Amino acid sequence: MKAAYIEAHGGPEALTYGDILDPVAGAGEALVDIHAASVNGADWKVRSGASGMITDFPYVLGRDFSGVVRAVGDGVEEFEAGDAVFGVCDVGQEGAYAEKIAIKASILASKPDSLSHMEAASLALIGLTALISVEDTLELKRGETILIQGGAGGVAGFAIELAKHIGAKVITTASAANHDYLRSLGADEIIDYNTQDFVDVVSDCDAVFETVGGDVAVRSFEVIKPGGRAAFIASGGKAPESPREGVRSLRPAVGRDRPHLERIVELVTSGAVRVPEITEYRLSNAVAAHRISEARHLRGKLVFKVR
């Protein structure tokens, strides 16, 4: 099968598009023909070695995808060949930048006819991350105020709509070019990080969802009211220690399961959350796609059309 893979860590040019061996579905697994796979920030961090060194090459990147079941292994009863599915690779597994993947059937969900494969792939990991961060970890409630850092990104955009659906007031940060887009998602207040320092204009937040990292993560504690909380997904694998007594610092545990994927479908098909803006690339053009992703100025999601 065709795949985009690395044979050593490095820059975007380390990606190779070529042939590797097809996977085989084991017990409890489904073999899926991938039609679309999305690009996430975690992908180029793995490629560069920033997330830890890999020794088992060639290594296929990619965490979320949408496709059609080709075959199932022993013990799989919920799916059969021909079923349209989408999902996120299990923790510790990658391999979605390919024409096929073998994955635990228990963490796949049925793709509704109302979503294309490109759309389903764009929603899988960002939706899973936003749901677990905002609903499960922050436990955001109606009437609360949340600051969502880096609002134009895929996870943050989903989180904005989710927070509005819950009934919260949403403040977010973004460059001026993305303000109209974020208003369309429902953001109540948008701060241009190029001209304003968010700590000067934001205060008394019940919660912060931090997707940027670095100094922004540390300074986010300054805008949280006593008894508030912050969730961090871009802080190097763990949440920074809270410098303020009574303010909780949380790291969402983004596991993989079907109920959360089905919750994504429920939110999108009901109109509560919309499909993000999609920038399409062919899998054979993975090098260029990674250059765009790593620049960190993409709005919405970058998705590979695999088939």
Q: Looking at the domain assignment, is residue 151 inside a domain?
A: yes
Together in a domain, 202 and 145 = yes
CATH code for the domain of 14? 3.90.180.10
Which of 207, 235, 250 represents a domain boundary (last residue)? 250
Which of 212, 233, 250 represents a domain boundary (last residue)? 250
Calpha distance 37→63 (Å, rounded): 8
Look-up of token digits 């993947």: 101
Together in a domain, 56 and 75 = yes
Q: Looking at the domain assignment, is residue 268 inside a domain?
A: no
Q: Looking at the domain assignment, is residue 238 inside a domain?
A: yes
Look-up of token digits 């969502």: 148
Q: What is the pLDDT of residues 4-55, one digit of tens each?
A: 999 999 999 999 999 999 999 999 999 999 999 999 999 999 999 998 899 9
Together in a domain, 133 and 202 = yes
pLDDT band at 205 (very low <50, low <70, confident <90, very high): very high
Together in a domain, 111 and 130 = no
C-alpha R_g of the chain: 19
Other residues' Cβ atoms within 10 Å of the Cβ of residue 20: 18
pLDDT at 123: 98
Q: Does residue 58 have a cis peptide bond before it, meaning omega lies within 30 degrees of 0?
A: yes
Q: What is the pLDDT of residues 281-302, one digit of tens each?
A: 999 999 999 999 998 778 899 9
Give me the domain span that covers residue 174: 126-250
Q: Total structural domains in the chain?
A: 2
Q: Looking at the domain assignment, is residue 164 inside a domain?
A: yes
pLDDT at 120: 98
User: Which 8-state DSSP code applies to residue 81?
Assistant: T
Q: How far is CA 51 from the centre of its chain?
A: 16
Q: Looking at the domain assignment, is residue 269 inside a domain?
A: no
For residue 115, is pLDDT > 80?
Answer: yes
Other residues' Cβ atoms within 10 Å of the Cβ of residue 253: 10
pLDDT at 189: 98
Both structure tokens of 201: 């204009």
Together in a domain, 105 and 137 = no
For residue 238, is pLDDT > 90?
Answer: no
Together in a domain, 298 and 241 = no
Other residues' Cβ atoms within 10 Å of the Cβ of residue 80: 11
Q: Looking at the domain assignment, is residue 256 inside a domain?
A: no
For residue 235, is pLDDT > 80?
Answer: no
Q: What is the pLDDT of residues 54-85, one digit of tens each?
A: 999 999 999 999 999 999 999 999 999 999 99
For residue 169, is pLDDT > 80?
Answer: yes
Q: Which residues pair with 32 in a beta bridge?
A: 69, 101
Together in a domain, 181 and 217 = yes
The percent of residues in the chain predicted with pLDDT above 70, rounded, is 99
Q: Looking at the domain assignment, is residue 169 inside a domain?
A: yes
C-alpha to C-alpha distances, 4 to 47, 103, 234, 274, 285, nearest whole angstrom? 11, 18, 25, 29, 9
pLDDT at 295: 87
Calpha distance 40→36 (Å, rounded): 13
Together in a domain, 206 and 298 = no
What average pLDDT does the chain have? 96
Together in a domain, 51 and 95 = yes
For residue 246, is pLDDT > 80?
Answer: yes
Together in a domain, 190 and 146 = yes
CATH code for the domain of 210? 3.40.50.720
Q: Looking at the domain assignment, is residue 72 inside a domain?
A: yes
pLDDT at 132: 98
Together in a domain, 285 and 219 = no
Together in a domain, 223 and 138 = yes
Give just the sign of the alpha carbon dihedral 114, 233, 259, 35: positive
Beginning with the edge strand found earlier in the chain, give each strand of the sheet holding 189-192 in spatial order: 189-192, 169-174, 145-148, 205-210, 224-232, 248-250
Q: What is the pLDDT of residues 124-147, one digit of tens each?
A: 999 999 999 999 999 999 999 999
pLDDT at 297: 78
pLDDT band at 166 (very low <50, low <70, confident <90, very high): very high
Q: How far is CA 47 from the centre of its chain?
A: 17
